[in-house]
Amino acid sequence: MDIIIEGQTKCFAGLMDYKNEQYYKTHPTIRFTTNQEDAEYEIISVFLSRVYYKSEKNVFRYYYFINAENEQEFNEYVENSKKASLYDIEATATYGDQLMTLSTCEFSQEDGRLAVVARKIK
Protein backbone atom coordinates (compact mmCIF):
# COMPACT_ATOMS: atom_id res chain seq x y z
CA MET A 1 0.00 0.00 0.00
CA ASP A 2 1.28 3.47 -0.84
CA ILE A 3 0.45 6.72 0.87
CA ILE A 4 0.68 10.17 -0.62
CA ILE A 5 2.35 12.77 1.55
CA GLU A 6 1.92 16.24 0.06
CA GLY A 7 2.24 15.08 -3.54
CA GLN A 8 4.81 12.34 -2.99
CA THR A 9 4.00 8.64 -3.30
CA LYS A 10 5.87 6.55 -0.73
CA CYS A 11 5.71 3.09 0.79
CA PHE A 12 5.10 2.96 4.52
CA ALA A 13 8.87 3.12 5.07
CA GLY A 14 8.49 6.78 4.06
CA LEU A 15 6.87 7.34 7.44
CA MET A 16 10.41 7.31 8.88
CA ASP A 17 10.83 10.88 7.62
CA TYR A 18 8.46 11.88 10.43
CA LYS A 19 11.14 11.09 13.02
CA ASN A 20 12.44 14.53 12.04
CA GLU A 21 10.30 17.32 13.49
CA GLN A 22 11.25 19.67 10.67
CA TYR A 23 9.86 17.18 8.15
CA TYR A 24 6.59 17.07 10.10
CA LYS A 25 6.40 20.87 10.12
CA THR A 26 6.55 20.95 6.32
CA HIS A 27 4.27 17.89 5.90
CA PRO A 28 1.62 18.07 8.67
CA THR A 29 -1.07 16.26 6.69
CA ILE A 30 -1.48 12.92 4.96
CA ARG A 31 -3.66 12.40 1.92
CA PHE A 32 -5.29 8.96 1.92
CA THR A 33 -6.96 7.91 -1.30
CA THR A 34 -9.13 4.85 -1.90
CA ASN A 35 -11.52 3.91 -4.71
CA GLN A 36 -14.35 5.42 -2.65
CA GLU A 37 -12.76 8.53 -1.18
CA ASP A 38 -9.96 11.06 -1.27
CA ALA A 39 -9.38 12.17 2.33
CA GLU A 40 -6.96 14.37 4.21
CA TYR A 41 -5.69 13.68 7.73
CA GLU A 42 -3.95 16.04 10.13
CA ILE A 43 -1.13 14.43 12.12
CA ILE A 44 -1.58 14.59 15.89
CA SER A 45 1.27 12.34 17.06
CA VAL A 46 4.44 10.61 15.87
CA PHE A 47 6.02 8.10 18.24
CA LEU A 48 8.36 5.15 18.58
CA SER A 49 7.12 1.96 20.17
CA ARG A 50 7.60 -1.77 19.91
CA VAL A 51 5.57 -4.95 19.98
CA TYR A 52 5.25 -5.83 23.66
CA TYR A 53 5.30 -9.28 25.23
CA LYS A 54 2.00 -10.49 26.68
CA SER A 55 3.59 -10.55 30.13
CA GLU A 56 4.45 -6.83 30.03
CA LYS A 57 1.97 -4.73 31.97
CA ASN A 58 1.08 -1.02 31.87
CA VAL A 59 2.38 -0.42 28.36
CA PHE A 60 0.74 1.40 25.46
CA ARG A 61 -0.25 -1.21 22.88
CA TYR A 62 -1.38 1.25 20.23
CA TYR A 63 -1.77 -1.60 17.73
CA TYR A 64 -4.77 -3.00 19.67
CA PHE A 65 -6.85 0.14 19.12
CA ILE A 66 -9.30 -0.21 16.24
CA ASN A 67 -12.59 1.43 17.19
CA ALA A 68 -13.23 3.12 20.49
CA GLU A 69 -16.04 1.52 22.46
CA ASN A 70 -16.70 4.82 24.26
CA GLU A 71 -15.41 8.36 24.79
CA GLN A 72 -13.06 7.32 27.61
CA GLU A 73 -11.33 4.70 25.46
CA PHE A 74 -10.96 7.21 22.60
CA ASN A 75 -9.55 9.88 24.91
CA GLU A 76 -7.09 7.43 26.49
CA TYR A 77 -5.77 6.46 23.06
CA VAL A 78 -5.31 10.10 22.03
CA GLU A 79 -3.72 10.98 25.39
CA ASN A 80 -1.30 8.04 25.26
CA SER A 81 -0.41 8.86 21.65
CA LYS A 82 0.28 12.49 22.54
CA LYS A 83 2.38 11.51 25.60
CA ALA A 84 4.50 9.18 23.48
CA SER A 85 5.03 11.72 20.70
CA LEU A 86 8.61 12.43 19.67
CA TYR A 87 7.84 16.14 19.64
CA ASP A 88 5.02 18.47 20.63
CA ILE A 89 2.19 18.66 18.11
CA GLU A 90 -0.51 21.20 18.84
CA ALA A 91 -3.19 19.45 16.77
CA THR A 92 -5.28 16.92 18.65
CA ALA A 93 -8.47 14.90 18.26
CA THR A 94 -11.77 14.89 20.08
CA TYR A 95 -14.32 12.14 20.52
CA GLY A 96 -16.16 11.64 17.26
CA ASP A 97 -13.14 12.36 15.06
CA GLN A 98 -12.04 9.60 12.73
CA LEU A 99 -8.47 8.51 13.40
CA MET A 100 -5.94 6.74 11.22
CA THR A 101 -2.82 5.11 12.63
CA LEU A 102 -0.03 4.22 10.23
CA SER A 103 2.81 2.06 11.49
CA THR A 104 6.04 0.70 10.06
CA CYS A 105 9.03 -1.25 11.32
CA GLU A 106 11.71 0.81 13.06
CA PHE A 107 15.04 -0.70 13.98
CA SER A 108 16.36 1.32 16.93
CA GLN A 109 15.07 -1.45 19.22
CA GLU A 110 13.96 -5.07 18.94
CA ASP A 111 10.49 -5.32 17.36
CA GLY A 112 10.50 -1.52 17.05
CA ARG A 113 7.75 0.46 15.36
CA LEU A 114 7.20 4.03 14.27
CA ALA A 115 3.57 5.13 14.41
CA VAL A 116 1.87 8.20 12.99
CA VAL A 117 -1.61 9.03 14.32
CA ALA A 118 -3.78 11.47 12.36
CA ARG A 119 -7.35 12.73 12.44
CA LYS A 120 -9.54 13.10 9.38
CA ILE A 121 -10.12 16.71 8.41
CA LYS A 122 -11.81 16.26 4.99
Percent of the chain's residues with pLDDT above 70: 90
pTM of the model: 0.83
Strands in 8-11's sheet, in edge-to-edge order, are: 8-11, 2-5, 29-33, 38-50, 112-120, 99-105
Domains of the chain plus CATH, in order, are: 2-120 (2.40.260.10)
DSSP states along 45-70: EEEEEEPPPTT--S---GGG-SS-SS
Q: Residue 9 — very low, low, confident or very high, per pLDDT cuts 50/70/90?
A: very low
